[in-house]
């Protein structure tokens, strides 16, 4: 039998970390723990995750109806998203929804989280799908997320919104959030350096085999030899800048050919675009 007060306390501790790390501003975000087959404890609406107290945690049934009617706090309006995840994945016992800034930047730009780059992210997050934007608190939000959840999914991005991480434990779900935002922060810093190295197909196969040996099977191991890893990386890779000197019709001394630049034929323009694309791709190798 779980100690329910301990769970409430742990939800407050995790809330404090979420707020302190800047994953949620103001009253944003929510998290929950499944305490029985038809009961879920969730954070209340309108309270900063940094100032939660155990008595404020609310209890709902699997339809989202608040059970603890004596509680002055009302359950979060986004609990419907959590409940749909619990229904889709019986192994999930905790859900954390946040707006981590570095990861959410990708959701704002509608750029999928790239894969095949960072071993830590590959092992602990795996493939992170991106759901289309839907209005927060609408049941369509949960539907769009659940549609993307496979047996090995533990994190989903929500377009123009944020992230949702889930796990058999609350701490585990919180760690996913930390790893997600750290990974996205590293990606954005790497972008500033102008180039990025992606793991080779064989390196990814080896990594996913190690992951499987850790007891975390990843469905991509089956399709990796066919090249499924990195299939959605292009929108991120395309954000890398090219050196201005190599991205225009330049003379060897770096000065732009004025005449070419002002009256470029369509053929020349197409050739230039192709040249730029080749240079970008060469720079990414």
What is the contact surface with Zn ion in residues (CB under 5 A)? 162
Residue nearest Zn ion, CB atom distance: 162
Alpha-carbon radius of gyration of the chain: 23
Q: How far is the CB of 97 from Zn ion (least distance, A)?
A: 6
CA distance 73 to 15: 16
Q: How far is the CB of 270 from Zn ion (least distance, A)?
A: 43
Q: How far is the CB of 180 from Zn ion (least distance, A)?
A: 15
Q: How far is the CB of 103 from Zn ion (least distance, A)?
A: 13
Q: In what order do the strands lie in the sheet with 30-36?
A: 58-60, 39-42, 30-36, 94-98, 162-167, 155-158, 130-131
The smaller minimum CB distance to Zn ion, of residues 136 and 172, is found at 136
Q: Give catalytic residues, as residue numbers.
A: 78
The smaller minimum CB distance to Zn ion, of residues 162 and 230, is found at 162
Distance of CA 161 to the CA centre of its chain: 10
The smaller minimum CB distance to Zn ion, of residues 45 and 242, is found at 45
Other CB atoms within 10 A of residue 240 CB: 16
Per DSSP, the three-state class of 74 is coil
CA distance 246 to 194: 14
Q: Are 52 and 11 in contact (CB under 8 A)?
A: yes
Q: How far is the CB of 161 from Zn ion (least distance, A)?
A: 6
The smaller minimum CB distance to Zn ion, of residues 114 and 162, is found at 162
The smaller minimum CB distance to Zn ion, of residues 26 and 244, is found at 26
Q: How far is the CB of 24 from Zn ion (least distance, A)?
A: 8
Other CB atoms within 10 A of residue 270 CB: 11
Q: How far apart are the first and last CA of the chain?
A: 54
CA distance 257 to 218: 52
The smaller minimum CB distance to Zn ion, of residues 22 and 244, is found at 22
Q: For 233-236, which contacts have Cβ atoms below 8 Å and span 24 or more sequence positions?
A: 233/112, 233/114, 233/115, 233/116, 233/198, 235/110, 235/111, 235/112, 236/106, 236/111, 236/112, 236/113, 236/114, 236/187
């Amino acid at each position: 039998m779980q100690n329910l007060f301990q769970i409430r306390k742990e939800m407050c501790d995790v809330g404090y970390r979420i707020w302190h790390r800047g994953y949620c501003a103001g009253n944003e975000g929510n998290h929950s723990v499944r305490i029985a087959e038809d009961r879920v404890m969730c954070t209340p609406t309108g309270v900063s995750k940094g100032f939660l107290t155990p008595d404020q945690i609310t209890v709902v049934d699997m339809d989202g109806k608040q059970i603890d009617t004596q509680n002055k706090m009302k359950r979060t309006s986004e609990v419907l998203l959590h409940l749909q995840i619990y229904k889709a994945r019986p192994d999930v016992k905790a859900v954390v929804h946040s707006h981590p800034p570095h990861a959410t930047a990708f959701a704002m730009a509608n750029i999928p989280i790239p894969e095949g780059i960072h071993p830590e992210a590959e092992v602990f997050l795996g493939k992170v799908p991106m759901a289309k934007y839907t209005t927060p608190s609408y049941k369509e939000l949960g539907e769009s997320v659940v549609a993307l959840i496979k047996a090995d999914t533990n994190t989903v991005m929500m377009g123009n919104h944020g992230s949702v991480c889930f796990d058999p434990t609350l701490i585990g779900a919180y760690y996913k959030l930390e790893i997600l935002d750290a990974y996205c922060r590293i990606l954005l810093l790497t972008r500033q350096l102008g180039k990025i190295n992606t793991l080779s197909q064989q390196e990814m196969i080896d990594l996913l085999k190690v992951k499987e040996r850790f007891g975390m099977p990843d469905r991509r191991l089956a399709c990796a030899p066919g090249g499924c890893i990195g299939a959605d990386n292009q929108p991120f890779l395309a954000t890398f800048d090219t050196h201005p000197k190599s991205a225009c019709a330049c003379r060897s001394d770096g000065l732009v050919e004025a005449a070419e630049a002002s009256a470029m034929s369509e053929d020349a323009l197409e050739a230039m675009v192709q040249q730029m694309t080749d240079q970008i791709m060469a720079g990414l190798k």
